[in-house]
């Protein structure tokens, strides 16, 4: 028993620099009852349980444009394309976010990084024209910002709002089945989101569903 508590103490001490100790909710205490930052994780988890499958994935599926169609829309200007098909993140200078779907051949893949990526050729010219994020580390907040129902004003501050983006990324990444072995040369189809600050920005797609042709 004593050694267990010593171990726990050691683990806590080791964990200190990088992590913060989050107070867990007491028995019988509802998530909403834990105000402030201590209750963030529980609140965000509850929000995800309520909205991820029921609202976010259907929204992305319904709004997703095929790659070529989104490129055509963007050719007329980012603002016009965004107003017609996208959603703008909260704040001045925030990106436009679009749902997108497509299929292509993997030209290059990096599966050794913690932020795994596959570069895809979707128009058949042999060159990669977009990058799929395959996790486990996912950059950006386009899953959050593509949805008009996640609004900054509804959150305590930028930390809580950022935690939502991270939780959404983690949920998406956990749901991806990335096959073992070489991806290059394989054909994959995907559904995801992309955020753009300029119409010519390279596409970094956050993937919510992925299938690899055998």
Instruction: Using the minimum distance from each CB to other proteins, give the nearer residue, 90 or 209.
Output: 90
Quick one: which of 203, 138, 119 has its CA closest to 176? Answer: 138
Alpha-carbon distance 157 to 172, whole Å?
23
Interacting residues with other proteins (CB under 8 A)? 17-20, 89-95, 113-114, 136-137, 139, 141, 152-153, 157-159, 161-162, 166
**Looking up tokens 């703008």, which residue turns up?**
88
Closest approach of Cβ 183 to other proteins, in Å?
A: 19
Closest approach of Cβ 70 to other proteins, in Å?
A: 22
Give every CB contact of residue 143 below 8 A, 6+ residues apart in sequence.
56, 165, 168, 169, 172, 193, 206, 208
Instruction: Using the minimum distance from each CB to other proteins, give the nearer residue, 53 or 154.
Output: 154
Q: How far is CA 54 from the centre of its chain?
A: 16
Q: Kindly list the distances between the CA atom of residue 78 and the CA atoms of 64, 131, 199, in Å, as whole numbers in the listed order.
A: 16, 19, 5
Instruction: Using the minimum distance from each CB to other proteins, give the nearer residue, 50 or 197.
Output: 197
- Here the tokens at position 149 are 């129902």
- Here the tokens at position 133 are 């994020």
Instruction: Using the minimum distance from each CB to other proteins, give the nearer residue, 1 or 198.
Output: 198
Closest approach of Cβ 40 to other proteins, in Å?
A: 11
Instruction: Using the minimum distance from each CB to other proteins, give the nearer residue, 61 or 159.
Output: 159
Closest approach of Cβ 94 to other proteins, in Å?
A: 5
Closest approach of Cβ 25 to other proteins, in Å?
A: 21
**Cis peptide leading into residue 136 (ω within 30°):** yes
């Amino acid at each position: 028993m004593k050694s267990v508590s010593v171990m726990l103490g050691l683990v806590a001490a080791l964990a200190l620099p990088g992590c913060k100790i989050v107070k867990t909710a007491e028995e019988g205490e509802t998530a909403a009852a834990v105000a402030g930052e201590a209750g963030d994780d529980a609140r965000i988890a509850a929000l995800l349980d309520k909205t991820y499958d029921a609202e976010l994935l259907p929204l992305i599926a319904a709004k997703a444009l095929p790659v070529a169609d989104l490129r055509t829309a963007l050719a007329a200007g980012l603002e016009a394309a965004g107003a017609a098909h996208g959603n703008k993140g909260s704040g001045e200078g925030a990106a436009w976010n679009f749902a997108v779907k497509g299929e292509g051949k993997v030209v290059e893949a990096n599966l050794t990084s913690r932020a795994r990526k596959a570069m895809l050729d979707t128009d058949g010219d042999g060159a990669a024209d977009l990058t799929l994020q395959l996790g486990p580390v996912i950059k950006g907040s386009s899953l959050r910002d593509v949805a008009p129902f996640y609004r900054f004003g509804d959150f305590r501050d930028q930390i809580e709002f950022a935690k939502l983006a991270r939780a959404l990324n983690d949920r998406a990444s956990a749901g991806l089945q990335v096959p073992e072995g070489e991806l290059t040369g394989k054909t994959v189809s995907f559904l995801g989101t992309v955020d753009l600050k300029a119409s010519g920005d390279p596409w970094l797609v956050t993937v919510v569903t992925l299938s690899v042709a055998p």
